Amino acid sequence: MAVQTLEPQDHGRDAQFARAMHGESGTMRGGLTSLFRKNSETMKSAVDGYFRYWTGKSIGEQTNEYATRTKLYYDLVTDFYEYGWGQSFHFCRSSYGESFSEAITRHEHYLAHSMNLKEGMKVLDVGSGVGGPARQIAKFSGVHVTGININDYQIRRATCYASKSGQAEDVRFVKGDFMQMPFEDKSFDAVYSIEATVHAPDLEAIYREIFRVLKPGGVFGVYEWVMTDNYDDTNPSHRDMRLGLEMGGGIVNTISNRRDALAAIEAAGFEVLHQEDLARREDAIPWYWPFAGRMSYAQSLVDCFTVVWLSSWGLSASHKIFGFLESIGLAPAGTKKTADSLALTAAALAATGKEHLFSPMYLMIGRKPL
């Protein structure tokens, strides 16, 4: 295993930066309402700081500042994610007759079910976003969920949502780098992670850290971002598509292929109970449908808007709209650049999804031996 250098932490500095950039927007309605309340100058420094990583370096050679980069990425995209996607930052399987939010919830329940979570368990959510999955899983399984997150703004939003939904006793959110978690060995009965460990600089190292905090006999469940067996690293167009995912997704390392992800979880010490790429199930509606540009996948008027707005036409219109809002000072500096970067990911998701080169839902369930 390659030895990964851990990034030194400075929580005081992070908190100060978050206060300066986000002000009180962490407790407001999410999405554009919060986006328009940023401090423009600090947001600009976040944009410059984040995008500087993409100049003159190749992916996989720039993993040292993994925590800073992930933090900055989520400082920039969280409001976009909430406005365009909701409070659960992940993909899901979909079926006809099921709304987008039902499908998202089903994906979360499916993980909890596959892990056999039971009432009263102490569960860790690694990379907990604004807490959509944690609140849902705590409710579904009757467990207590601790979320660990590197981004102060997301922690604030997650904590706020939990108290609004009356779940302040059932979920809590802790600031920290998931590569060096502030928990004792063997602290949790179960650990899950939904499309978050792809932000790690080294997959085996994050799985080892999860192994450490899990009790013997405890289960780890993950939806991992992977390149599938169809992906050919020697094919320049495949590589470009993968790079698009990495750049727009704030990913510091190259996205692992499925076999390497499986090898990493095994090397970390887990006994693999189940592994399956859920994107390969014969679903009538593919996981990447919002980006596929096909009206036949839309099931409601809102879905129709989603299809238009996430089409190349819609994304170039939003480029112009955000540019205009930025120029009149309504949107903070860097809004257009962030939206453009997400548009790149949207295109890469559609392309890699259609060609089955990538999956955001490679499910692995591992057990820490007794």
Could you tell me which stretch among 16-24, 52-60, 79-87, 326-334 binds ligand LGRKZMXR (CB under 6 A)?
A: 79-87
Please, what is the minimum distance in Å from the beta carbon of residue 195 to ligand LGRKZMXR?
Answer: 4
Residue closer to ligand LGRKZMXR by CB (options 92, 190) is: 92
Please, what is the minimum distance in Å from the beta carbon of residue 180 to ligand LGRKZMXR?
Answer: 20
Residue 198 binds to ligand LGRKZMXR (criterion: CB under 6 A):
yes
Residue 94 binds to ligand LGRKZMXR (criterion: CB under 6 A):
no
DSSP per position, 190-239:
EEEEES-GGGSS-HHHHHHHHHHHEEEEEEEEEEEEEE-TT--TT-HHHH
Structure tokens at 176: 């920290």
Residue 89 binds to ligand LGRKZMXR (criterion: CB under 6 A):
yes
The gap from C-alpha 73 to its chain's centroid, in whole angstroms, comes to 11
Beta bridge partners of 214: 188
Helix boundaries (H) for the chain: 11-22, 32-35, 40-51, 66-84, 100-114, 132-141, 152-164, 203-213, 236-249, 258-267, 289-292, 301-309, 312-327, 335-354
Out of 21, 50, 66, 84, name the contact with ligand LGRKZMXR by CB under 6 A. 84
Q: Of 266, 242, 268, 237, whose CA–CA distance to 254 is shortest?
A: 242
Please, what is the minimum distance in Å from the beta carbon of residue 336 to ligand LGRKZMXR?
Answer: 11
Site string for ligand LGRKZMXR, 217-246 (x = CB under 6 A): --------x---------------------
Residue 345 binds to ligand LGRKZMXR (criterion: CB under 6 A):
yes
Residue 201 binds to ligand LGRKZMXR (criterion: CB under 6 A):
no
Residues 11 to 70 in contact with ligand LGRKZMXR, rule: CB under 6 A:
none
Give the integer Cα–Cα distance in Å for 164 and 144: 17
Residue showing the smallest CB distance to ligand LGRKZMXR in the complex: 84
Give the integer Cα–Cα distance in Å for 302 and 238: 32
Residue 197 binds to ligand LGRKZMXR (criterion: CB under 6 A):
no
Residue 71 binds to ligand LGRKZMXR (criterion: CB under 6 A):
no
Q: Are 29 and 45 in contact (CB under 8 A)?
A: no
Residue closer to ligand LGRKZMXR by CB (options 121, 315) is: 315
Please, what is the minimum distance in Å from the beta carbon of residue 120 to ligand LGRKZMXR?
Answer: 30
Structure tokens at 54: 């993409």
Residue 362 binds to ligand LGRKZMXR (criterion: CB under 6 A):
no
Residue 80 binds to ligand LGRKZMXR (criterion: CB under 6 A):
yes
Structure tokens at 239: 């590589």
Residue 342 binds to ligand LGRKZMXR (criterion: CB under 6 A):
yes
Q: What angle do CA 204, 208, 213 make, to 5 degrees?
A: 150
Q: Of 344, 333, 347, whose CA–CA distance to 49 is shortest?
A: 333
171-175: strand order across its sheet: 171-175, 144-149, 122-126, 188-194, 214-227, 358-367, 271-277
- DSSP class of 252: S
Residue closer to ligand LGRKZMXR by CB (options 123, 198) is: 198
If one counts every other C-beta atom within 10 angstroms of the C-beta of residue 184, the result is: 9
Residue 87 binds to ligand LGRKZMXR (criterion: CB under 6 A):
no
Which residues bind to ligand LGRKZMXR, rule: CB under 6 A? 80-81, 84-85, 89-90, 195, 198, 225, 249-250, 310, 318, 339, 342, 345-346
